[in-house]
Amino acid sequence: MKSTRFLIVALLLCTISAAAQEQAVNVSKRGTSAAPFLTIQQGARASAMGGAFVAIASDPSALFWNPAGIARLEGIQVMFDHTIWIADINYNFLGVSFDIGDIGSVGASVTASAIDEMNVTTVAEPNGTGQLFRVQDVAASVAIALSLTDNFSIGFNPKFISQSIWETNASAVAIDMGILYRTPFEGFTLGMAIQNFGPKMKMTGQSNLVLYDANLESTGNNGRIPANLETDEWALPLYFRVGVAYTPVLGEMHKLNLEVDAVVPSDNYQSVNVGAEYVFNDLFAIRAGYKSLFLEESEESFTLGAGIQHRFVGNLGIKVDYAYQDFGRLANAQKFTVGMTF
């Protein structure tokens, strides 16, 4: 019975992922997706490993990478991640997971931008009108992950997405889905996830209302006709990730995680991420990776990071992680993550 469930679920996800690949193969649509902030990686640990994390996914950042990963988390785990992004933009991520016994786990996450207010400018007043406007990106999700067998888990992460600029906004509901499978080969784990499967988004609001002159050459017509500027719909950045992780047996003091991920996005060409993590005595970790291998004209390249963790009495513990990502001509991005377990 369990084998049958496994095959049904695997075939379902493979069908959906095939649709994602069909949209992306041999086509680059850079800059044509809505809510591009959904592609910003969450968790310093995963980022330091070059974004090769879909088959490891063993902390609350799995809510971003592969929701099936939270099925393996014990107790209550909380993560706060702060991203210093390019163009002086910051993003914050909060993820929480709570295990519900042998069944699996539930989780929730919030991602939000931190962008300073800006001056409203016009052609007549290029230095500013005295008004200020804000830009805001928000995504909130509630996830469930089920352990169908000891070696196979599946996760679903429905989420609400919102973007706003001045007096216009757009929103959508999407879902992330993923699976994790511990293979019969010792140390090898397979992971697969599809992100941002949902409808298109369209900006609407008061900023689209304008006064229009239907005939600029006529002096007797009404030059203040109320009109509504029509905006296009844009698809969400649909991502399909599949990866394999290998954790060799090195003894109690040493642990090594290696992973390779293939990434198929709907708004770019395919690429490969690779990453490695070495952990000493379950206390200190160093990480490195490389993003966007085989992707031409990519500004992304190597990543580095480190982390420390300490367990107190019982399940109580704390983790602090840091990641650095090179962005070529766009300088770099940095991430700081604090996590707690209860």
> What's 294's domain CATH number?
2.40.160.60
Residue (of 32, 12, 85) closest to 324 by Cα position:
85
- Residue 11 pLDDT grade (very low, low, confident, very high; cuts 50, 70, 90): very low
Distance separating alpha carbons of residues 218 and 213, to the nearest angstrom:
9
- Residue 88 pLDDT grade (very low, low, confident, very high; cuts 50, 70, 90): confident
Domain tally, the chain? 1
Looking at the domain assignment, is residue 126 inside a domain?
yes
pLDDT tens digit string along 28-68? 567 778 889 999 999 999 999 999 999 999 999 999 999 99
Give the pLDDT of residue 29: 67
Residue (of 76, 109, 58, 92) closest to 340 by Cα position:
76
Is the pLDDT assigned to residue 281 strictly greater than 50?
yes
307 in Cβ contact with 322 (< 8 Å) = yes
Looking at the domain assignment, is residue 336 inside a domain?
yes
Give the pLDDT of residue 3: 47
Q: Which of 19-33, 40-54, 193-207 has the lowest mean pLDDT?
A: 19-33
User: Dihedral of CA 162/39/179/61: which sign?
Assistant: negative
User: Tokens representing 265?
Assistant: 């996005």
**Range from 7-16, 72-81, 225-234 that averages highest in pLDDT:** 72-81
Looking at the domain assignment, is residue 329 inside a domain?
yes
Alpha-helix residue ranges (DSSP H) falling in the chain: 2-24, 44-48, 62-65
Looking at the domain assignment, is residue 207 inside a domain?
no
Q: pTM for the full model? A: 0.86
Q: Higher-confidence residue: 189 or 314?
A: 189
Looking at the domain assignment, is residue 56 inside a domain?
yes
Average pLDDT, the chain: 87
Looking at the domain assignment, is residue 253 inside a domain?
yes
Looking at the domain assignment, is residue 214 inside a domain?
no
Query: For 244, how many CA atoms within 13 A lie in the half-sphere containing its CB?
Result: 6
Is the pLDDT assigned to residue 221 strictly greater than 80?
no
User: Dihedral of CA 300/176/1/7: which sign?
Assistant: negative
pLDDT tens digit string along 171-185? 999 999 999 999 999
Looking at the domain assignment, is residue 210 inside a domain?
no
Residue (of 321, 298, 301) closest to 309 by Cα position:
321
Domain that holds residue 315: 2-200+235-341
Give the pLDDT of residue 220: 63
Residue 43 neighbours by CB under 8 Å, 6+ apart:
53, 59, 60, 61, 64, 65, 79, 81, 93, 321, 335, 337
Give the pLDDT of residue 320: 97
309 in Cβ contact with 319 (< 8 Å) = yes
pLDDT tens digit string along 316-325? 899 999 999 9
Residue (of 167, 147, 146) closest to 156 by Cα position:
146
Residue (of 294, 285, 283) closest to 260 by Cα position:
294
Distance separating alpha carbons of residues 312 and 90, to the nearest angstrom:
32
Give the pLDDT of residue 7: 45
Distance separating alpha carbons of residues 42 and 109, to the nearest angstrom:
11
DSSP, collapsed to helix, strand or coil, labels residue 35 as coil
Across the range 215-236, mean pLDDT stands at 78
Distance separating alpha carbons of residues 182 and 154, to the nearest angstrom:
12
DSSP, collapsed to helix, strand or coil, labels residue 108 as strand
Is the pLDDT assigned to residue 5 strictly greater than 70?
no
